[in-house]
């Protein structure tokens, strides 16, 4: 995973935590208001603070994200009791060059046909709020809020 | 934590996973559609499959839950790459007797005044859908769906 140096100082700690935790539970909203989550592999946090993921265009989360663009990413390291909540807006991005930049063999289990898969797309999350907790009983720390 | 024997067979595996993972990220929806999450300690999964949590009446999550009752609970065990998503409906419950039943000293860090705290309430989540992933690259398993 590629976590770049952040232009925005408020995102430095978020970047550190994302790097350490790597897998997020991405929560989206269904048509009827149901909230669903699923594990996702973070591919990159770019210098402007966007979080990038690979996914399948045909998967339900894409339709859900397109009708309710606000999503949550929760990161956890359960052995250390570190938790991070990121609220953000998601976009579906079709960009072959960006896909090439982000591709790594370790996500093959989810995308067997690799970059040739016509169903492969990118999700780009722009952070609007972030909060973290880093010890049992600790108060929440607001890291970032727009 | 108290995980009871489940009346509904479909919830047996969910109960096993909840017992193992214990802490959930609870995602709620704000007025403007923003999705926020925060770590919560599961106090009980009762025999009817309800999940019980302590919280403070005055906390934003209670107001959020009251205006958008659908929530998500995501459980993770990051060292084993086990993930569980529970979609459900939440109720705020004021019940002194149930609070007494559920109280344990290990949640004191979050509720210093214990059962005497007038701000203390219970959240009760009724499961509508559950899914889990129990190995990297594994397909999702639908456990329960109403
Ligand atoms: C550890 C782990 C990492 C995963 N990473 C991704 C990922 O980066 N992209 C993806 O689309 N699915 C990933 N999955 C699979 C998803 O969790 C999910 O099952 C799949 O994307 C279908 O989701 P949906 O039906 O909610 O759209 C991962 C699963 C696990 C267990």
CB B18 within 8 A of CB B6: no
Asked if the Cβ–Cβ distance from B78 to A36 is below 8 Å, we say no
**Which of B25, B110, B133 minimises the CB distance to A85?**
B25
The whole-number pLDDT of residue A137 equals 60
Query: CA-CA distance, A62 to A68, in Å (whole number)?
Result: 10
Which residues of chain B make contact with A146, given a CB cutoff of 8 A? none
| Start-end of H helices in chain A | 12-21, 60-67, 96-102
How confident is the model over A121-142, as a mean pLDDT?
84
Domains of chain B: 2-145 (2.30.110.10)
Provide the pLDDT confidence category of residue A139 given band limits of 50, 70 and 90. low
Query: CA-CA distance, A135 to A82, in Å (whole number)?
Result: 6
The whole-number pLDDT of residue A108 equals 86
Q: What is the DSSP string of A128-145?
A: EEEEEE-STTPPPEEEEE
The whole-number pLDDT of residue B80 equals 83
Each residue's pLDDT expressed in tens, for chain B with a length of 146 residues: 899 999 999 899 999 999 999 999 999 999 999 999 999 999 999 999 999 999 999 998 899 888 999 999 999 988 888 899 999 999 999 999 999 999 998 888 888 888 999 999 999 999 999 999 986 666 667 667 65
CA-nearest residue for atom 14, ligand 1, is A40
The whole-number pLDDT of residue B127 equals 97
The whole-number pLDDT of residue B137 equals 60
Collapsing DSSP states into helix, strand and coil, what is residue B19? Answer: helix
* pLDDT at residue A133 greater than cutoff 60: yes
Q: What is the DSSP string of B28-83?
A: EE-TTS-EEEEEEE--EE-TTS-EEEEEETTSHHHHHHHHS-EEEEEEEETTTTEE
Query: CA-CA distance, A103 to B21, in Å (whole number)?
Result: 31
The whole-number pLDDT of residue A136 equals 61
Query: CA-CA distance, A37 to A42, in Å (whole number)?
Result: 15
What was the ipTM of the complex prediction?
0.93
The whole-number pLDDT of residue B92 equals 96
Which residues of chain B make contact with A60, given a CB cutoff of 8 A? none
Query: CA-CA distance, A119 to A112, in Å (whole number)?
Result: 11
Asked if the Cβ–Cβ distance from B21 to A78 is below 8 Å, we say yes
CA dist list (Å): A95 to A56, A59, A100, A101: 14, 18, 9, 10
How confident is the model over A23-47, as a mean pLDDT?
96
> pTM of this prediction?
0.94
CB B72 within 8 A of CB B105: no
Q: How far away, in angstroms, is B139 Cα from ligand 1 center?
A: 8
CB A107 within 8 A of CB A54: yes
The whole-number pLDDT of residue B79 equals 82
The whole-number pLDDT of residue A106 equals 85
Give me the residue label for tokens 């949550």: A72
How confident is the model over A113-131, as a mean pLDDT?
95
**Which residues have a Cβ under 8 Å from the Cβ of B112 and sit 6 or more positions away?**
none
* pLDDT at residue A146 greater than cutoff 70: no
- B110 Cα to chain A: minimum distance (Å): 6
pLDDT tens-digit readout, A63-79: 999 999 999 999 998 88
Q: What is the DSSP letter of A119?
A: T
Provide the pLDDT confidence category of residue A138 given band limits of 50, 70 and 90. low
Chain B residues with CB within 8 Å of chain A CB: 21, 23, 25, 27, 29, 33-39, 68, 70-72, 74, 76-79, 81, 83, 85, 87, 109-110, 128-129, 131, 133, 136-137, 140
- Tell whether ligand 1 has an atom less than 6 A from the beta carbon of residue A110: yes
* Count of C-beta atoms within a 10 Å radius of residue A75: 25
């Amino acid at each position: 995973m590629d976590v770049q140096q952040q232009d925005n100082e408020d995102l430095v700690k978020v970047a550190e935590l994302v790097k350490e935790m790597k897998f997020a539970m991405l929560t989206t909203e269904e048509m009827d208001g149901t909230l669903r989550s699923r594990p996702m592999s973070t591919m990159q946090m770019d210098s402007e603070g966007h979080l990038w993921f690979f996914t399948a265009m045909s998967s339900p989360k894409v339709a859900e994200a397109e009708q309710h663009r606000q999503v949550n990413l929760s990161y956890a390291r359960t052995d250390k009791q570190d938790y991070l909540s990121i609220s953000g807006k998601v976009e579906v991005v079709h960009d072959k060059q960006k896909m090439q930049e982000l591709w790594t063999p370790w996500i093959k289990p989810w995308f067997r046909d690799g970059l040739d898969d016509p169903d492969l797309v990118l999700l780009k999350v722009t952070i609007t709020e972030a909060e973290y907790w880093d010890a049992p009983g600790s108060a929440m720390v607001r890291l970032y809020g727009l």
